[in-house]
Amino acid sequence: MNLELRKVQIKDIVFDTVDKIEDGVLHVDPKRLEELVLEDSRVKAVSFDIARPGESVRIVPVKDVIEPRAKLEGGEIFPGLFREDMQEAGNGITYCLKGMAVTSTGPIVGFQEGVIDMSGPCVDYTIYSSILHLCMIIEKQDYVDPHDHEEVVRLAGIKVAKTVAEIGFDVTEYETENMEWKPIGEKYAEFPDLPKVVYVYNCMAQGLLHDTYFYGRDAKALVPTMITPNEVMDGALISGNCVSPGSKTTTYMHQNNAVIRELLKIHGTEINFMGIVLNPLMTTLKEKFRDRMMTVREVKMLGADGVLISQEGFGNPTTDLMIVCQELENNGIKTVIITNEDAGVDGMSEPLPDSVQEANAIVTTGNSNATVMLPAMDKTIGILKEVERVCGGNVTSIQEDGRLLLEIHGIMGGHNLQGNTKLGAITI
């Protein structure tokens, strides 16, 4: 499996009547994008705007953040989403527009939608404040129910991201990253003296807008499955879930999974990165115990000496995190987990809703209940009033002077559970 990522750095975005990338500036025709989105009859209206780092701009409610990517050869990007047949992701040539994202907003679907400020204190809490945003403001037809509303926005965002990325095909200056992924047998023998490490990649699969899509299929239909880093980087995983904005794994976070990036960085020098087990986070105990059994079995098949597990969401999914950790440790496999804490606004509450004694190596992405006062912004892209309904916000969030009182929960990516965040904790 060989994937070539061609990374085109975007320095600015401007609206134009032609589509091109010139001197690092993305010129894009918003009318063409509007026509593309309106091909779905469930869309009532759509428009586009631009948000730049350092501007006095607030985007709310943010539904998804997507890095524009497109396939030059070797199949299609985001396979399984728009066609019945598909090729395995992770091969060929993929163009990536770096330093920017397609970011969707508009009337709220569910409380998974959060805030991104392009300046002020928010910059210290989320990486999204540091990139350019091509914002899609989308409104559904009145008859569309919440589940279809989420689908409408999700598919529109992916279509726009793919279309925008294709503009990069004409660019001749780019950074190249080659990703080779070998068969398990070869990998097992490749670095015999290094510890073999597997990544257990938890993803939401709980229904009621708590979903992730793998090759276009709802993850509720999955069982724990071995996957490769190449597939993840090539759009096999798409966000469609309803969890805290702070911990939500957006499509952007799947495409730039920080755990995978760090494991690849030390592969061959400190560890032998053997692969990934994708574990769908289900709702019932029976499903959790089944998935624990299957996850541990696949980790053992990969010959792991150690495992790193990332979480998505909070509350119910913490049980999956803990019981998988417990079973791995009981099988002699050293395990580290990544989770956030929900310790109350004063930090004095029980931080985790579930725990086991075997979970003795934990990386925290901070207390999501801590509050932050965000200053008033000159411009809002989206609907400010909707902040009262997002996780981390409430009816008193909007202050009389325009400031915004919010829990870190409400900041998009504020405590990302793959560690792609600016928060953490220290022992004192």
pLDDT digits (tens, 9 = 90+) for 314-357: 778 889 999 999 999 999 999 999 988 877 787 777 787 788 99
Residue 420 lies in a domain: no
Domain that holds residue 318: 2-410
Q: Which residue reads 């049980």 in tokens?
A: 319
Nearest Cα residue to 329 out of 427, 200, 202, 191: 200
With a cut of 80, say whether residue 142 has pLDDT above it: yes
Q: Is residue 415 assigned to a domain?
A: no
Helix %, strand %, coil % of the chain (to 5): 25, 35, 40
Number of domains making up the chain: 1
Count Cα neighbours of 379 within 13 Å in the Cβ-side half-sphere: 11
State how far the Cα of 295 lies from the Cα of 332, in Å rounded to an integer: 15
Residue 356 located in a structural domain: yes
What does the alpha-carbon distance between residue 224 and residue 123 come to, in Å, rounded to a whole number? 36
What six digits make up the tokens of 420? 């792609």
Residue 286 lies in a domain: yes
Contact 14, 164 (CB under 8 A): no
At 302 the three-state DSSP class reads coil
**Catalytic residue ranges:** 242
In a domain, 113, yes or no: yes
Strand-strand pairing, 334-341 and 306-310: parallel
pLDDT band at 378 (very low <50, low <70, confident <90, very high): very high
Task: Look at the block and give the residue holding tokens 């009547």.
Answer: 17
Q: What pLDDT score was predicted for residue 111?
A: 65
Reported as a pLDDT band with limits 50, 70 and 90, residue 113 is confident
Examine residue 261 and state whether it is found in any structural domain, yes or no. yes
Query: Higher confidence at residue 427 or residue 15?
Result: 15
pLDDT in tens, 162-197: 999 999 999 999 999 999 999 999 998 999 999 999
> H or E element: which one contains 166?
helix 146-166
In this structure, is residue 421 part of a structural domain?
Answer: no
Mean pLDDT of the chain: 92
Query: Looking at the predicted structure, is the pLDDT value of residue 135 above 90?
Result: yes
CA angle 67, 73, 76 (to 5 degrees): 55
> pLDDT (tens digit, 9 = 90+) per residue, 190-202?
999 999 999 999 9
Listed in sequence order, the residues at least 6 apart from 265 whose beta carbon sits closer than 8 Å to its beta carbon are none
DSSP 29: -
Query: Is the Cβ–Cβ distance between 408 and 402 less than 8 Å?
Result: no
The share of the chain scoring above pLDDT 90, in percent, equals 71
- Kindly list the distances between the CA atom of residue 367 and the CA atoms of 204, 350, 372, 418, in Å, as whole numbers in the listed order: 21, 11, 12, 15
Asked whether residue 422 is domain-assigned, the answer is no
